[in-house]
Structure 1
Amino acid sequence: MPCRAARRLHKALGRRGVFLLILGTGKTCWGISFLVDPPRDHGLKLLTDVCSLRHWSWLWIVAGVITLGSAFLRIGRDKIGFAVALVPPTVWATAYTAAVVSGYYSRGAYVALWYLTSHVGVILWAATVPEYSVPRVPRSARRGKAA
């Protein structure tokens, strides 16, 4: 029974929807982790000068919920999910880059590159993946001509 439900959900969501569902769930969980037990602010001084990491956790949570919700939208309308999913990792990459430039956190360059490649890059790539590949339509036989 659960396998049948999973297959129906997968068929209803499609490849893009499944990606958005997984991504949204991950972002929401990541945000909740900042809310429940915020880590030290190594390299995030740019953000923590504005407000605490507990407040910034809501950026991840809201983006995650919107991304997760976009999984259930039709193709073309799901673009909002991909766009919103880019916001938190871009903000974090910017903060880490600022920490490197200011000399506050030299390791931030690696973390910023990680966010830019494994988050932003993957999201941008997934946004361009078509839902399905349509095979070429075979040429129909001419009428009245025997082969």
Structure 2
Amino acid sequence: MFAAALLQAPRHLCRSLFKRVGRRGVFLLILGVGKTCWGISFLVNPPDPSGLQLLTSMCSLRHWSWLWIVAGLVTTSCAFLRIGRDWAGYGAALIPPIVWAIAYLAAAVSGEYSRGAFVALWYLTSHVGVIMWAATVPEYSVPPVPRRPGKGNAA
């Protein structure tokens, strides 16, 4: 009995969290946690800076990691705001991938990183494009189930 209650607790917590934040909030939570983790990975173990010369000419990737971390924390916190007030979360989520896309595009144009244009396009489509699309999706966009006419109703 106790084990069953323990198994129900996470499910109940997830269900109540989803009710609290809604579909848009869940998307912001996923984005925010992901961006924060990505930024922390740059702090813990910075990757090869190939293609990011524009950024690393200003400061190290460890410093740039804070852009991802702060954007992720803002995005996560905006998941708990009411619809219409969550715009800052979507804006914060856009900043890091746009900055990275610009850096990779600059590296491709300068000839420093031949894959830069492809990586920039990847950031612009799979990150920026998806975030911009999700920002326009209303919380309740599913139409109601049509009702069948009851008995005795003339058509």
Q: CA offsets, 1:34-90, max 9 Å, x none?
A: 011001110000000000000000000000000000000000000000011000000
1:113 lines up with 2:140 in the alignment: no
The match for 2:52 is: 44
The match for 1:24 is: 32
Gaps of at least 5 residues in structure 1 are 139-146
Gaps of at least 5 residues in structure 2 are 1-8, 147-153
Measure, in 2, the Cα distance between the counterparts of 1:135 and 1:46.
47
Aligned length: 139
Q: TM-score, normalised by structure 2?
A: 0.86
The match for 1:141 is: none
1:133 is aligned, of 128, 136, 141, to 141
1:133 is displaced (CA, Å) by 2.6
Q: TM-score, normalised by structure 1?
A: 0.91
Q: CA offsets, 1:112-135, max 9 Å, x none?
A: 011000000000000000000374
Cα RMSD of the aligned pairs, angstroms, is 1.5
The match for 1:10 is: 18
1:78 is aligned, of 70, 79, 86, to 86
Tell me which amino acid in the other structure corresponds to 1:88. P
Query: Secondary structure of 2:105's match?
Result: helix
The match for 2:61 is: 53
1:99 lines up with 2:89 in the alignment: no
